[in-house]
């Protein structure tokens, strides 16, 4: 019985080592995450750009800061929207847009469709302004 336990423990250690080696190889080959990069390869001019879009109850103002040709900060002011829904959605989307650097792969927040669409449209407008300079 103890020989069987020892054999199984050794097999598990070998299997774990091989899986870790495979995972490290995969991570090394995939490269870094995009975080804030400009995925569209469009030249963005440094500056602060602002756009106001209609949300559910009021206008939502989006402010995008471009530094070194990349999105460095996104702010969304949805103070005229319902705080628990639109306000929370705007804050969440601003963080996601800052990390993503564009609207690509950023989805609207359930329950705050109009506010989410206003934030995303504002981001697109700011990026268009930054592309024009």
Q: What are the structural domain ranges in the chain? A: 1-31, 47-132
Closest CA to 85 of 55, 53, 52: 55
> Is the pLDDT confidence value at 118 over 70?
yes
What does the pLDDT look like over 25-72, one tens digit per residue?
887 777 654 444 445 567 899 999 999 999 999 999 999 999 998 999
- Distance CA(99)–CA(108), nearest Å, equals 15
Give residue 41's pLDDT. 60
In this predicted structure, what is the pLDDT of residue 36? Answer: 47
| pLDDT the model gives residue 27 | 78
Q: The domain 47-132: what is its CATH number?
A: 3.90.1010.20
Residue tagged 């949805």 (tokens): 78
What burial class does residue 58 get, using C-beta atoms within 10 Å of its C-beta: 0-12 exposed, 13-18 middle, 19+ buried?
middle
């Amino acid at each position: 019985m103890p020989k069987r336990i020892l054999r199984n423990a050794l097999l598990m250690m070998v299997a774990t080592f091989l899986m870790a080696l495979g995972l490290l190889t995969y991570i090394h080959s995939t490269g870094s995450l995009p975080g804030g990069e400009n995925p569209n390869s469009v030249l963005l001019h440094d500056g602060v750009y602002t756009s106001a879009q209609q949300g559910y109850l009021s206008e939502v103002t989006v402010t995008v800061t471009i530094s070194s040709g990349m999105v460095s900060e996104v702010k969304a002011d949805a103070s005229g929207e319902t705080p628990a829904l639109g306000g929370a959605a705007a804050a969440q989307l601003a963080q996601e847009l800052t990390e993503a650097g564009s609207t690509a792969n950023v989805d609207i927040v359930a329950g705050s469709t109009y506010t989410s669409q206003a934030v995303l449209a504002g981001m697109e407008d700011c990026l268009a302004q930054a592309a024009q300079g």
